Structure formats: structure tokens, C-alpha cells
Amino acid sequence: MLAHHSHSARPARAAGIALFALLLGVYVLAMSGHTYASDEETMLAVGQSLLARGSFAIPPDEPFLMTTIGGVDGQRYSRYGPLQSVLAVPFIAAGNALALLTPGYNELVMRFVVLLLPALATAATAWLLVLWVAEMGFGARIGVLLGLLFGLTSLGWPHGRTFFAETLATLFLVLCGYGLRRESRLWWAIAGAAAVGALATKIQTGLALPVLALYALAVCWRGSWPEFARALGGRLLFGLLGLALPLAALLGYNALLFGAPTNSGYGSVGAQAVAQHGNWRTGLYGLTVSSGKGLLIYSPSILLGLIGLGARPRQQWRESLLAALMLVSHIAFYSNVGYWHGDGAWGPRYMVFVVPFAFLPAAGLTFLA
């Protein structure tokens, strides 16, 4: 079995909670309090419709919505995954209640409260990084350092100020990876549910799921095939059970709204974008080192993760493999499509999924310790 470092788990839990509180405080103080794009307004409108009408359909008189699609019933629906809108409902309700104290500013107050959701998601992602680093066998200080690097020096913070779905989807991906590292059957069930949560938030996270599946196999490796089979067999069933019910709900949502379980409402747009076959040289340069969208320009601290890929291989080879495959798969895919830049977002929006994973190998750098 992998070594369980219980001696570092307790301080890591306490440090993770403290880091979560610190980052959340910073994010609340720095909140924009408003949305930036029609994508955000579309997901927000779905949440408002759920609260007011109990329906995912967006009223036809709703303004400023450019990202809707017709459902099988003729009503308008969001192209985007439903989960962020569902989770936003209590925030919308709280914002509406708070707005009663400030007549005339209802929409502004409501949006301010709703933007607590991505702030919470970003802080929670940093918290999970602290716990994950502890599972790798490193101390709480290293975990907090990596959590701070993600939370304050990467794409995480700027995108945590928006209502784009990348922030929440990234939280689910990290929860999935952390659950797999924990190895217990319960955590594998949580990991399975988190994988579907990522898909239900943003369908593009499907690119990361095969990488996480390979990571699951790496976690189960014990040095011999019989031991590997025993480790995998004891957990795989629970992982599948964890994803079964959420996946059935997501497929049912797709079938009811768009006519087929595998039609997310966003598939046709994605297929057209992939069919553009953008210039991969332009995309590769743009996503890595360009001044407008380069990952190394907008999150230079992930260089620590790249340097750490070869550090302490016996202790963190699994996380190094995970980080490398996440980076390579996402850069290779998005370099080849015309929308690699992610439109008017701050930095390379489609690399937000990758950033927390890229920090993990930095835990093995001795000079950080």
C-alpha cells in the first residue's frame, strides 16, 4: 500500500482551514461584484429561473443573452452545464433577501452575493491542495505554500472574481484527484461523483477525466500486477457507484432538454470549433508565452511545478505524471482549435483547469522546504 502520513494529516487539516479562511477574506475584499460576459449572465439567468419558476428554461424576455439554444420543447436553455446555476440558487435567494435592505440596487446586490460562489470554490481548491500535498507525504507548510501560490499568484484568483464556470469545474476536478489519492472506498465514491460534477459544470472538463483515470491506475500501482489488481478491484466499484447516480441525472437532463442523453446542448458548438483546425503554432505560442494569453506570463509561478517534475520521483511520481499529462493534453488540444484564446477573458481561460495540478510537483523541491 501507499504510505499514509497520518502524522501530517492533522496539521494539514488545520492549516487548510486557516488558508481557506484567509483566501476567502482576500477574495471578498477584492470582489468585483458584477459579471463580465453573456456567458455568466446566461448561467445566472438559469439560476434565477430555477428560483422563480422551478424551470431551467430562460424566459424569452430576458435581455443580454447570446448563448442560449432551443430545447426539444421550443423553450430557450443555456448551452452550459446546469450545475453552477443549480448551486447558485441559494446565493441568488440570499442576494434577493439582502437587496430588500437597499431599494434600487437589487440587481447589483444580488450579483455581489452570487459571486461568493466562485470565491468559495477558489478558496476550497487551495484548501484541497494543502490536503493533497499532505497525502503525498509532505508537511503542512509546503501544502500551505502551494495553496498560497495557487490562490494568490495564478489564474485562480482573477477567474475566481468572475462567474465563468471554469472556477467551479476546477474545484470538482481537484476534488476528484484528491479523492483518488486518498485511496479509501468512500473517497473513491466521492471522486466519481466529483468527476460528474465537473462535467455537469463545464463539458470541456471531459478532456481532463482520462488523465485522472490514468492517475487512478497509478495510485493503485503497488509494484506488481497482482497487488495492482487487488488495489484497483477494491476501489473501482465504489468509484463507479459514486458516479452512477449523478451521471444518470446529467444524462436525463440532456435527454429531457436536448433530446438525447449525450447531447449537452454545447456539443454542436464544440464540434464546429474543433473543425476550425486553428494554426497549432499560433495556438501553442499564444497559450504558453504570448503577452496576451501565455500561461507562463499570467501564472509564472507554475514554473516551480515544471521544475519539480523530476524531484523526489519515488515519492511523487504519480503527481508528476498527472501534472505533465494535464499540461500536455490541454495545450495540445487547445492549440489546434480556433478559440484557443478563450475570448475576452483574463489570460488563457481554458488553462484554468490545469493550474492547480501543475503546482503539485513543486512540493518535492528541497529549496521550498
Residue 265, pLDDT > 90, answer no
Residue 78 near residue 84 (C-beta atoms within 8 A): no
Residue 318 burial by CB count (10 A; 0-12/13-18/19+): exposed, middle or buried? buried
Amino acid 268: pLDDT:
46
DSSP sequence for 196-244: HHHHHH-GGGGGTHHHHHHHHHHHH--SSHHHHHHHHHHHHHHHHHHHH
Residue 220, pLDDT > 50, answer yes
Distance, CA of 53 to CA of 58 (rounded, Å): 10
Amino acid 269: pLDDT:
43
Amino acid 181: pLDDT:
96
Which phi and psi (to 5°) does residue 69 adopt? -140, 150
The dihedral sign for the CA sequence 88, 56, 52, 64: positive
- Each residue's pLDDT tens digit, 58-90: 988 776 666 788 899 989 999 999 999 999 999
Please state, in angstroms and as integers, the Cα–Cα distance from residue 337 to each residue in 166, 224, 333, 343, 354, following that order: 18, 40, 7, 13, 18
- Each residue's pLDDT tens digit, 133-152: 999 999 999 999 999 999 99
Q: Which of 22-26, 123-127, 163-167, 290-294 is predicted least confidently?
A: 290-294
